[in-house]
Structure 1
Amino acid sequence: MNKLLFFFLFITCINYASAQQESQLKGKVVDTLGKAPLYNAVISLLNKKDSTLSKFTRSGKDGSFNLLRLAKGQYIIMITFPKFADYVDVVNIQEPVVDMGAIALTQKATLLKEVVIQSGRAIRIKGDTTEFVADSFTVKEGATVEDLLKQFPGFQVDSKGQITAHGQRVQKVLVDGEEFFGDDPTMATQNIAAKAVDKVQVYDTKTDQQNLTGLGGNNQGKTVNIKLKENSKKGSFGKAFAGSDFQKYHDAKVLYNRFVGKKKVSVYGTKSTVSTGSLNWEDRQKLGLENDLEYDEVGGYYYSIGSGDDFNDWSLRGLADSYTAGALFNNKWNEDKYGINGSYRFNRLSTRNESSTLTQTILSDGLLYRSDSVISNGLNQQHALNGKYEWKLDSLASIKFTTAGIYKTTQGFNHTNSNTQNEMEQYLNKNDQTRENETERKQLDNLFSYKQLFKKKDRQLLLTLRFGLVEDDNNGLLYSKFEKHDGNGNFVSDSITDQQKLFTGNSRTIGTKITYSEPLTSKLSLVVDYGFNNNNSASNRASYNNEGNNKYEILDSLYSNNFNLDASSHSTMAVLKYVGKKTRFAMGSGLSALQLNLKDLYKDKKTNYNFLNLTPQATYSYQLKQQTWFYVNYSGTTRQPSMNQLQPFRDNNDQTNIFIGNPNLKVGFNHRFNTSYSSYKVLTGTNLYVGASYGFTQNDISNSSIIDASGKRTYTPVNVNGNNYWNFWGNWNHGQGEKKLRHYIQLNANGGRNINFINNEKGTNNSANFNINYGIGYDIKDKFNFRIGPSAGYNSSRSSLRKVDNNYFSYGGSANGYVLLPGKIELSSDINANLRQKIDAFDRNTNIIQWNGSISRKVLKDKSGKIIFLANDILNQNKGYNRNIGSTFVTDERYLRVSRYFLLKFEWSFNKMPTGK
């Protein structure tokens, strides 16, 4: 009996000890809205390592569940229930009892626009928004948001900080839904630490009107919203660095950020000779305001000098010496009832450039070759202010006022030597030209919007008002000596131009738009809008000939004009919008009447233009299954000729290329079709994004050129039919997690047909470009990572005027890596290769391989400092190059860029936030 009792106690102890090594997982499944328990929901537990099923059960009548005898480790829990969105999350079981509490499932029929998926990689899809949970992606210590974005499937970040997401350029980056330094998106991506980020959202860039109608506009791009962790909004952080080669190159920046809840204060300054110091990606002519092209129909008629954005590395030609500074203040208070956002930026950029351009012109009876050699210097300065004030009147009404102002000055010097030869290498002409310019621009843009919601769901009213002012002044000198070749080895002077160019212009734009949405059923709404815009502008261009002793007092009426323009438009649109369980569509059409009253003050002549425009729109999307969408869109938009194209104005700024306006141009109409497919698989981390577009334009605007025996070209805009364009892109990513290979394949193709005329003969060019890129990546956090992405492409161009082989292959790709060596030394390297096959037009080597590297080590007691030895363009091949192939021409441009240099840099970062360590 004692032996039996002892045996029973022994077995009990073993079972008890075994139970101590096992765990249980429990929780309760409820409805998100009513918090009611969900009975018979399926709870599956998968092994995170290989996604095999470990255990499953069903919830009880009170919604509770309990999974017993679980080995410790990481699992994936999946909960499914009919008519509810699936719930997938990672759970780490280390304790004897893990209680997940109440798990709320989202009812699809209630929240049609929000399908939430959580996974080990934590990618959530909410309607048209894709959300990435930052902590689920592996980045090295000290990584920025830009480094984090490179880890996301479907994202690309180039060397200039420009981001592409799901095949489209990212146009705007927000921080907690607010602009960070206006239209300077890389201020956020390159300076905010990745560990301070909670989530990153990406969605289509749309205006309020487009969100209301459900239609996409002309803004083909994406917006990224960086949501910070709550404990990262308390305190300050910043960075400062300085580097130099102790000769001619230096680079320095200081940035300070102070976050207190919803209040943000930031200041920065830079000084550099290796970049522009700017943080812009592209020209934002609306200065940070919403760029709604349908709204501002008449804004494009005012043409001015110096209206582009010169402060970005993307368009930089030559060597730079730059200064920048800026400040930002952002705050919300009284339970977010009030909000304010303001920023100031200063840019100063001087450039020096030497460039050479070869141009092959294709004629039906021969070829012409033009060579340009240019020396230029420039100084651009800019002050920019952005401000926004938001006021929530109550739970249903809100007001927003946005203002943006800019003051910009430029000074430029340009000396050009050019000559033209025929295919027998016989000279036809040469031209020696010098230009000097000083420009000044003042611009102010204001936007007021009022949004009114109603108690009835989906009923909404949106009112916007816009007021804008522009003033331009330009003072320039032009000296040009054009000489013809007499065929006997001599050049004969043909014409000498010595003129002063004065330009004054101003523009005032007033506009309003009202949009109203009325629900017809629970799923169907009618959206209507009306808009009015008016623009009054003046443009006075005067050319004065030098009468001797540098006195420019004789007006050259042939190259001068003085116009006043009054442009008014009335527009209306009606759209039916349907939002169903899996299907969404919107379709409608707009109608606008545009009237232009143009007055030639020199000739005292008035010309009236009346354009009637129809703009049909349609969008359809279908959810094939969770995380899988199909989308198709059509838009019809008009293309009015610009004021510069309509004016019978002659431009002689280049004696070898004379431009003449055409007052008889017609309105063009553009048809554009887009389609895309997206799919995301949670457990395998597989993403697929595919898209294509096609468009053609009726009465498109092209050029008609006449080239005389001396090689001089005179061209004018004309209407043509038959122009089209197409594009295809695809992105496939597979693999997720640390210490696992990740693969991606990217496909890009584009092309089209372009028509113009040369010497009264029609020239048609068909072009196509194809590129494929395969890449693999691997990470061990804070120790090692690498990415390799070789690429290959083919470019085809064929002209109807003459058979010329301008087809070529291109190869290259990119590779980058990081490794932590003994002694805490960090070694990183990246290489970008662009190898192009030579073409018949220009037999020049165009291969560029840029290899950069750095060696660094953290210093100071808290490791907040870093000493970096940086090597840029180790192979000394970073030369500016651009190739452009058209229907009647091929150009090959070379220009200066910052090439090989070595910097010794010291960088210091500080973080006075709870997550700072």
Structure 2
Amino acid sequence: MRSNNSDEDPYIDTRNGFFENLNTGVQYTNKWNDNHTLNFSPKFNRLQYNNTKNIFSQFQLGDSLFNTNARENSFIYKRNIKNNLVYDFKIDPANSLKITTKLNIYNTKSKIYRQSENISKTKLLNNLSDNSSDNNTDKTAFSSSFLFKHKFKKDRRTFSINMDLNILNSDNTGYLYAINKYFDAGNLKQIDTLNQKKNNDNSNKTLSAKAVYTEPLSKKYALEINHEIVRTSRTNNLRTFTSTSNNSNKYDELIDSLTNNFDQQVTINKSGFKISYKHKKVRYSIGNTIGFTHFDLKDITNKKEYKQDFTNIFPSANFQYAYKPNHNFKINYSGRTIQPTISQLQQLRNNNDPLNEFIGNPFLKQSFNHGINLSNISYNFLKEMWVYQSINADVTDNAITNSVIIDKSGKTITQPINMQGSNISVSGWMGAGKKIKKLSLDLNTILQFNYSKFNELINNIKNNNKNASITFGLGIGKTKEKKYDISIQNDLGFNTNRSSIYGKTLQYYTNSLNLSGSAYIKKAWRISTDYELNYREKTDEFSNSVNNNLWNAKLEKTFKNDEFTVFTSINDILNQNIGIDRNFYGNKLTEVRNERLQRFWLVGIRWDFKNKKQTK
């Protein structure tokens, strides 16, 4: 469901559901006097999307379990016009100017209907809910960028100034109707009926300017000095009304507890430097930036004001070593702040989902993130062999996380807070591939892993969460041009999750087997097929079968030097295409099953312009 105190549109998962998409646009480019270039590209997009999904979620709280079964139907209609204008002006050999302007206009309509039931560990009802929402959002986004560059007579001495203006305005009208029933030990205790209208005006304006000067210190060393000023203004004015008359379409009473006008002003001044070195196979740089941030938060409705000032240090460093041709080792480090969003700061109760409410926290402070990346890439063209390794690590101090209060009826209230300690995430990807020329075989293998640790509060008790996953893949393929193409790929995965409050480790295996092949008949005819087997291990929490087989086939014929292709295909021959997603977050696990387009035939013709025979 859309949050009425954010700029986010309803989420559209293009892997699932059914959608109709229309795109059209033109592009105009002109260049004159070799110094001026103008590019203008207006585009239009219209998207209609609908989806039905069944959701099972389990909230674990000590010896208690809250199991929710829900069914959600959504219909979304989006229409947008995008305009992009770019002007490049080469003033003279030493000076250049680039101006970029974008104007985008959006309209989004959404209708979401959700039914749910929450059941205790002993199979007793906690709550029942029928919830429908209807939203209409108009949004306008304008941005303009000005970039001026100057090269001095001295080599590598440069100066540049960049100015950016970004404006985002949105106007939303939403309707919420919900009937919620609360139970105690399986007995009906209370019924709540909501019939509300929400008007939300949201504005976000950012103006920034950055100047950069570079100076060569020697043939190997260079110095960069920069200064940046950023001014951001955000407002969010939400008004919620309810109906008190017999006419349910007349909303005549303002709900004070769900109404708030909030203003955020942020000013940032940053000054920094970077020293870089470049010689033969080695490159490295080290730098630091000092920033001064001022927050001025105004709760206009309640006549409250919150001011905060921060002094931040943003270190950065990177090292690169090209130890052989096409062999490269890199290491990068950077530090940055993470600012709370206006929806996290605004102390307003969001009841779009009455059983899962959200309230902002004006006392939130910024968090700080340390990020490091190591990578090694090598490729041997003669041996047709490649190797790649990459590891990323992030540590976030004073992280913004959630405090969740859940009552015995299964209703939750979530509020963002700063938690002492560090949130940690580590991920890695390693792969290698080689072509065995004598057998004309392509071999590849991959190894991926992810680990994360974060803290939150559940009913005022600290909850430490650890998630880990690892995937190992092995593939083999054989190709002969205009004859055949065969490949096999298998990926085996293992997932684990542990929550300190629940005290039980959840784990399961997954496996994905992919087979594909194609064969040519007299070069003009081609028959191809692909098969995918997805296996997901059953668990105590996920006891239903979630395995499926996907099989597709196609027959095609080309004409006139492959310029035209006529084809017929059948997708999902076994009629088992289903969308299943499992997710662990803290002490909550979720499984979502989405509708997808299943078995269907397709007949078509394709015109490939690049293969069009050229005439002299």
> What TM-score do you get using the length of structure 2 for normalisation?
0.95
Partner of 1:92: none
Q: Distance in 2 between matches of 1:627 and 1:808?
A: 39
Q: Distance in 1 between matches of 2:497 and 2:554?
A: 40
**Match status 1:702 vs 2:415:** no
Residues 792 and 812, structure 1, Cα contact 8 Å, conserved in 2: yes
Provide closer, same or farther for how the CA distance between residues 864 and 315 of structure 1 changes in structure 2, counting only shifts above 3 A. closer
Give SS of 1:304's match. coil
Give SS of 2:501's match. coil
Q: Distance in 2 between matches of 1:602 and 1:347?
A: 38
**Match status 1:619 vs 2:318:** yes
Residues 631 and 676, structure 1, Cα contact 8 Å, conserved in 2: yes
**Match status 1:665 vs 2:367:** no
Partner of 1:729: 429
Provide closer, same or farther for how the CA distance between residues 911 and 615 of structure 1 changes in structure 2, counting only shifts above 3 A. closer
> What TM-score do you get using the length of structure 1 for normalisation?
0.64
Residues 868 and 905, structure 1, Cα contact 8 Å, conserved in 2: yes
Larger mean CA deviation between 495-504 and 827-836 belongs to 827-836
Residues 739 and 779, structure 1, Cα contact 8 Å, conserved in 2: no
Partner of 1:75: none
In the TM superposition, residue 477 of structure 1 has moved relative to its aligned partner by 0.6
Q: Distance in 2 between matches of 1:916 and 1:349?
A: 40
1:125-274 counterparts in 2 under 5 A?
none
1:610-689 counterparts in 2 under 5 A?
610-689=309-388
Larger strand share, 1 or 2: 2
Q: What whole-Å deviation, never above 9, does each CA across 1:583-624 have from its counterpart, x for those lacking one?
A: 111111111112122222212222222222211101011222
Unmatched runs of 5 consecutive residues or more in structure 2 = none
Q: What whole-Å deviation, never above 9, does each CA across 1:739-769 have from its counterpart, x for those lacking one?
A: 7211111111111112111111111121111
Give the one of 291, 305, 315 matched to 2:7.
305
AA aligned to 1:838 is K
Give the one of 480, 486, 490 matched to 1:790.
490
Q: Distance in 2 between matches of 1:813 and 1:531?
A: 51
Give the one of 537, 540, 554 matched to 2:237.
540
Residues 805 and 839, structure 1, Cα contact 8 Å, conserved in 2: no
1:754-903 counterparts in 2 under 5 A?
754-822=454-522, 824-859=524-559, 864-903=563-602
Partner of 1:450: 148
In the TM superposition, residue 738 of structure 1 has moved relative to its aligned partner by 10
Q: What whole-Å deviation, never above 9, does each CA across 1:805-831 have from its counterpart, x for those lacking one?
A: 421111114232221124832112223
Larger mean CA deviation between 710-719 and 676-685 belongs to 676-685
In the TM superposition, residue 637 of structure 1 has moved relative to its aligned partner by 1.0
**Match status 1:516 vs 2:213:** yes
Give the one of 163, 166, 171 matched to 1:468.
166
Q: Distance in 1 between matches of 2:404 and 2:341?
A: 19
Partner of 2:134: 436
Q: Distance in 2 between matches of 1:485 and 1:863?
A: 67
Give SS of 1:806's match. strand
Give the one of 306, 322, 340 matched to 1:607.
306
Q: Distance in 1 between matches of 2:447 and 2:385?
A: 16
Residues 614 and 638, structure 1, Cα contact 8 Å, conserved in 2: no
% identical equivalent positions: 29
Residues 499 and 505, structure 2, Cα contact 8 Å, conserved in 1: no
In the TM superposition, residue 377 of structure 1 has moved relative to its aligned partner by 1.3
Residues 200 and 238, structure 2, Cα contact 8 Å, conserved in 1: yes
**Match status 1:714 vs 2:413:** yes
Larger helix share, 1 or 2: 1
Residues 481 and 493, structure 1, Cα contact 8 Å, conserved in 2: no
Larger mean CA deviation between 842-851 and 875-884 belongs to 842-851
In the TM superposition, residue 447 of structure 1 has moved relative to its aligned partner by 0.8
Partner of 1:559: 258
Q: Distance in 1 between matches of 2:258 and 2:526?
A: 61
Partner of 1:527: 224
Give SS of 1:393's match. strand
AA aligned to 1:329 is Y
Partner of 2:65: 367
Partner of 1:227: none
Give SS of 1:538's match. strand
Give SS of 1:723's match. strand
Residues 130 and 178, structure 2, Cα contact 8 Å, conserved in 1: yes
Q: Distance in 2 between matches of 1:817 and 1:460?
A: 55
Give SS of 1:645's match. helix
Provide closer, same or farther for how the CA distance between residues 916 and 758 of structure 1 changes in structure 2, counting only shifts above 3 A. farther
Partner of 2:191: 494
Partner of 1:4: none
Give SS of 2:365's match. coil
1:401-440 counterparts in 2 under 5 A?
401-440=99-138
Residues 876 and 899, structure 1, Cα contact 8 Å, conserved in 2: yes
AA aligned to 1:392 is K
Larger Rg belongs to:
1
Q: Distance in 2 between matches of 1:331 and 1:849?
A: 52
Residues 738 and 778, structure 1, Cα contact 8 Å, conserved in 2: no
AA aligned to 1:511 is S
Q: Distance in 1 between matches of 2:75 and 2:609?
A: 39
Provide closer, same or farther for how the CA distance between residues 863 and 795 of structure 1 changes in structure 2, counting only shifts above 3 A. closer
AA aligned to 1:898 is L
Q: Distance in 1 between matches of 2:438 and 2:525?
A: 22
Q: What whole-Å deviation, never above 9, does each CA across 1:694-724 have from its counterpart, x for those lacking one?
A: 1211001111111111111111111122310
In the TM superposition, residue 441 of structure 1 has moved relative to its aligned partner by 0.5
Give SS of 1:655's match. coil
Q: Distance in 2 between matches of 1:558 and 1:319?
A: 38
Give SS of 1:849's match. strand
AA aligned to 1:727 is S
Provide closer, same or farther for how the CA distance between residues 733 and 408 of structure 1 changes in structure 2, counting only shifts above 3 A. same
In the TM superposition, residue 911 of structure 1 has moved relative to its aligned partner by 5.0
Q: What whole-Å deviation, never above 9, does each CA across 1:314-349 have from its counterpart, x for those lacking one?
A: 5454211222212223354544x3323332222111
AA aligned to 2:192 is S
AA aligned to 1:845 is S
Provide closer, same or farther for how the CA distance between residues 913 and 356 of structure 1 changes in structure 2, counting only shifts above 3 A. closer
Unmatched runs of 5 consecutive residues or more in structure 1 = 1-301
Q: Distance in 2 between matches of 1:902 and 1:916?
A: 37
AA aligned to 2:197 is Q
Aligned residues: 610
Partner of 2:274: 575
AA aligned to 2:73 is I
Q: What whole-Å deviation, never above 9, does each CA across 1:504-555 have from its counterpart, x for those lacking one?
A: 1222221111111111111111111111111223211010011121211211
Residues 773 and 813, structure 1, Cα contact 8 Å, conserved in 2: no
Provide closer, same or farther for how the CA distance between residues 423 and 916 of structure 1 changes in structure 2, counting only shifts above 3 A. farther
AA aligned to 1:517 is T
**Match status 1:381 vs 2:79:** yes
Structure 1 runs (4+) deviating above 6 angstroms are 736-739
Give SS of 1:654's match. coil
RMSD of the TM alignment (CA)? 2.1
Residues 561 and 611, structure 2, Cα contact 8 Å, conserved in 1: no
Give SS of 1:552's match. coil
Give SS of 1:893's match. strand
In the TM superposition, residue 787 of structure 1 has moved relative to its aligned partner by 2.0
AA aligned to 1:474 is N
Partner of 2:444: 744
Provide closer, same or farther for how the CA distance between residues 584 and 381 of structure 1 changes in structure 2, counting only shifts above 3 A. same
AA aligned to 2:608 is S
AA aligned to 1:603 is N
Q: Distance in 1 between matches of 2:29 and 2:517?
A: 37
